[in-house]
Amino acid sequence: MPSGYNSAKLRSDCPRTSLQWYTRSQNRMRRPTLLLKDILKCILLVFGVWLLYILKLNYTAEECDMKKMHYVDPDRIKRAQSYAQQVLQKECRPKFAKTAMALLFEHRYSMDLVPFMQKVPGASEAEFQYDPPFGFRKFSSKVQSLLDILPEHDFPERLRAKHCRHCVVVGNGGILHGLELGHTLNQFDVVIRLNSAPVEGYSEHVGNKTTIRMTYPEGAPLSDAEYYANDLFVTVLFKSVDFNWLQAIVKNETLPFWVRLFFWKQVAEKIPLQPKQFRILNPVIIKETAFDILQYTEPQSRFWGQNKNIPTIGVIAIVLATHLCDEVSLAGFGYDLSQPRTPLHYFDNQCMSAMNWQLMHNVTTETKFLLKLIKEGVVKDLSGGIHCEF
């Protein structure tokens, strides 16, 4: 019996010993392969960062002659100024913009949408259904960290207290230069400006009052002169490092060099505003603008390129304005792609043709959307770039 038991035990141990030896040998063979893969990943990462840095240094856009845009027919100037004053002097209708949007788009527009992030939403709430910029999925801890250091999250009381608010979204279009609308634009209750759009040196045409500066990190003005004591700084968060940037700005900290590499252009290192003046745009506004109102396709995984399903910051700002204000106007909007050699902006020499190379926005669809809003009377176009009513 003992000898039989030992014999059986030996026979049962042999395959196990053989299997263990085989497993160990296979693991030893895999180690160099895994190490090689890790090395290749590191090399590709370093190469990608280096290539991104080189592209940033060497990127130049086609330049246009700014002198060609300075002349504007004096009669057009008078008509534009008269029309803008008429819009401003009309009786303000409480909740008009919001109600008109709900009637025009029905269930595709939420009247009760909160404009700015006030609390970290639950996992099932709309804010966490998509990745940035349409939602904050996978970023709950970063959103919480930001909200913890922001003392205020709502529209300021001084603005909420006004019974009815006239609002104007000032775009960056070259059409603004020469119309001399600055004085009238300053009379609106709420003036929303986009990205780095300067007022210094251009106030005759675009005014110098700013209630809200709405921007993503790369668009924030680098000059302290573009910030005013009572401005609201509304941040649009597009990617992971945007959260790091906003936290560094609010806490007056230095952004690490390796984080700065992931921005496609230089970002502001300091912003002379108090923490109470910062807000985070509710990403559901972008989601609703893109997928519901403009009816773009939802995000899909792609190896290269974009789906052109991200609205421009100008269109996002107009939808935001309908949630904040009772009467909404716009100025400085309109892409005339049939004139590729005309200046794109009122403040630089970039050509209109640059819009043909952008990968994220569908300006044709957006123009149709804005035209619909103007013709339906939801908003007014003060500069006539989308539809001229003067």
Confidence of residue 57 (pLDDT cuts 50, 70, 90): very low
pLDDT value of residue 307: 59
Confidence of residue 317 (pLDDT cuts 50, 70, 90): very high
User: Helix 240-250 vs helix 140-149: angle between axes, to the nearest 10 degrees?
Assistant: 20
Q: Per mean pLDDT, which range of 146-150, 261-265, 324-328 is the poorest?
A: 261-265
Looking at every residue in the chain, the average pLDDT score rounds to: 83
Distances (CA, A) of 292 to 26, 136, 285, 324: 53, 18, 10, 19
Mean pLDDT of 43-61: 49
- Within 10 angstroms of residue 103's Cβ, the number of other Cβ atoms is 11
Report residue 288: phi and psi, to 5°. -65, -40
Report residue 34: phi and psi, to 5°. -65, -40
Q: How does DSSP assign 264-322, residue by residue? A: SS---S---S-GGGEEEB-HHHHHIIIIIIS-PPPP---SSS--S-SPPHHHHHHHHHH
Q: Which residue has the higher pLDDT, 300 or 329?
A: 329
Q: Which residues pair with 215 in a beta bridge?
A: 235
- Within 10 angstroms of residue 239's Cβ, the number of other Cβ atoms is 15
pLDDT value of residue 20: 52
**pLDDT tens digits, 118-168:** 887 666 677 888 989 999 988 989 999 999 999 999 999 888 889 999 999
- List the beta strands (DSSP E) in 277-326: 278-280
Q: Per mean pLDDT, which range of 210-214, 299-303, 337-341 is the poorest?
A: 299-303
pLDDT value of residue 330: 97
Tokens of 81: 């100024």
* Angstrom distance (rounded) from CA 385 to CA 175: 7
- Within 10 angstroms of residue 194's Cβ, the number of other Cβ atoms is 22
User: Which of 207, 199, 236 shows the shortest CA–CA distance to 219?
Assistant: 236
Q: Which residue has the higher pLDDT, 46 or 22?
A: 46
State the residue for tokens 């904040």.
324
**pLDDT tens digits, 66-87:** 555 567 889 999 999 999 999 9
DSSP state, residue 350: B
pLDDT value of residue 56: 41
**Which class in CATH covers the domain with range 64-381?**
alpha beta
pLDDT value of residue 344: 77
